[in-house]
Amino acid sequence: LDSFLSTFPFPFPLPPYLVGGLSGITRSLYISSGVAANNNLMLSSSHITSVVNVSGEVVNTLYEAIRYVQVPVAGTPRSHLCDFFDPIADHIIHDVGMKQGRTLLHCQRCEPLAALCLAYLMKYHTMSLLAAHTWTKSCRPVIRPNGILGAAHSLFGKNTVHMVHSPVKMIPDIYGKEVRLMIPL
């Protein structure tokens, strides 16, 4: 358990005021908005060596000594984000981390960003979807992954998160309480 916990950069969730910047998920994986991803001071002070842009809307400012990768998905439920789970988890996040580097995933919207992050945690930290979601949300409170349920099932043969009916639409069961609190009586 200690070796598993040592892969995470913080013993407790980040304070909410840091959410506008880079959020550490593991020692080698950070997530942020496009604005933070284009801030050279944030990138260099966090020792980011690889940036994965999961946004068609944000153009990266290219800085020396940083590897840039564009994931060409729209972030809609119809996009094929799952096609990028393994390549991003294996060749970008994991390989960079093995070389003591750090990867920053960024997107304008939180859905595809969170899905790639959860896929990595499930694969390389053998976390269930529920555990990966809980951990990531504790590090960066605003996440709404899409397209991840199939990946969880293919990795583990089961899902720890299920789709349920809500007054709005079908939603993952982990958001049931939040949706009920948002619906006026």
**Which of these CATH numbers, 3.20.20.140, 3.90.190.10, 3.20.20.30, 3.40.50.300, describes 2-146?**
3.90.190.10
Write down the pLDDT at residue 106.
87
Q: What digits encode the pLDDT tens for the residues 66-82? A: 999 988 776 555 557 77
Q: Per-residue pLDDT averaged across 133-145, rounded?
A: 82
Task: Examine the pLDDT at 84 and tell me if it is beyond 70.
Answer: yes
Q: What's this model's pTM, rounded to 2 decimal places?
A: 0.74
Q: What digits encode the pLDDT tens for the residues 9-34? A: 444 444 434 445 889 999 999 998 88
Write down the pLDDT at residue 110.
61
Look up residue 155 and give its two tokens.
């990795």
Mean of the per-residue pLDDT values for the chain? Answer: 77
Catalytic residues: 107
Lowest pLDDT segment from 117-121, 149-153, 162-166, 175-179:
149-153
Long-range contacts of 26-29 (CB under 8 A, 24+ apart): 26/97, 26/121, 26/125, 27/97, 27/102, 28/93, 28/96, 28/97, 28/100, 28/101, 28/102, 28/103, 29/93, 29/97, 29/102, 29/103, 29/105, 29/117, 29/120
Helix/strand number for the chain, H first, E second: 9, 7
Helix H segments across the chain? Answer: 2-5, 34-37, 40-45, 85-87, 95-98, 110-124, 129-139, 149-156, 176-182
Which has the higher per-residue pLDDT, 8 or 97? 97
Which has the higher per-residue pLDDT, 67 or 180? 67
What are the extents of the domains in the chain? 2-146
Q: What digits encode the pLDDT tens for the residues 105-117? A: 987 666 777 888 8
Task: Examine the pLDDT at 181 and tell me if it is beyond 80.
Answer: no
Look up residue 181 and give its two tokens.
């609190």
Which has the higher per-residue pLDDT, 176 or 50? 50
Look up residue 46 and give its two tokens.
């966090």
- Taking the C-alpha atoms of residue 137 and residue 139, their distance in angstroms, rounded to an integer, is 5
Residues 6+ apart with CB under 8 A from 99: none
